[in-house]
Amino acid sequence: MENIEMINLWKQYDERLEKTISINHRLIAELQQQKAKNALRPARNYKVIAILIGIVYAALIAYFLYHLHPIASIFINISVVIHLIVTLVAIAMYAHQIVLINQIDCTENIVDMQYKMAKLKSSTLKVIGVCFLQFPVFATWNINLELITKNPLAFWFIQVPILVLFTYIGIWFYKNINIHNIEKRWFRMMFWGSEWQSILKAGKFLKEIENFEKN
């Protein structure tokens, strides 16, 4: 009889212990999730400011283009239009990133949070790559028909090589600014600000939850 009572007591103790461990596990996971969400606040603030500045900047470009296009060369007009389009795309991408951050903030499922965090990282990198695609524009705004017809040597041996170089640089950065190069020195030099660091910090908290659950 005493053995049966001892066995029942041990069972009750094991059940309480498992319940306590389960509660502690859930609390630790919730705490890490909250840390991840809080870590994203600087990134959200940065992106909101970037959108506001981008809207003002895009409005100035559009105003400049409206008054300039009747008198400017076709090369200047095309350069300004490309610059405006890239700026608007960047604004839209930043807005999408804020939506992702808000979704992460409302998500309790760790898998969903990690999925959206991966999309946020990818989008944060991609918007910088997109901005580099307009790099050749800075070598085309000063081109005009007079340069091509009256100074062909200067155009073909100075202007064109510069344009090709700028195009190569823009495409190279667009292709190489990705998560696979995160450990490279040039990458770390470019992405050292509070926006990127807060995203990495949030991702670290989520990774800690994953490792904790595995163990």
Query: Nearest to residue 82, comparing CAs of 155, 166, 159?
Result: 166
Percent of the chain's residues with pLDDT above 70: 79
180 or 61, which is more confident:
61
- Residue 9: pLDDT above 60? no
Query: Nearest to residue 102, comparing CAs of 57, 47, 49?
Result: 47
Q: How far apart are CA 80 and CA 68, in angstroms?
A: 10
Amino acid 24: pLDDT: 47
Amino acid 6: pLDDT: 54
Which are the contacts of 179, defined by CB distance < 8 A and separation ≥ 6?
Answer: 121, 122, 125
Residue 93: which pLDDT band, with cuts at 50, 70 and 90? very high
Residue 149: which pLDDT band, with cuts at 50, 70 and 90? confident
Residue 19: which pLDDT band, with cuts at 50, 70 and 90? low
Model pTM? Answer: 0.79
Amino acid 88: pLDDT: 96
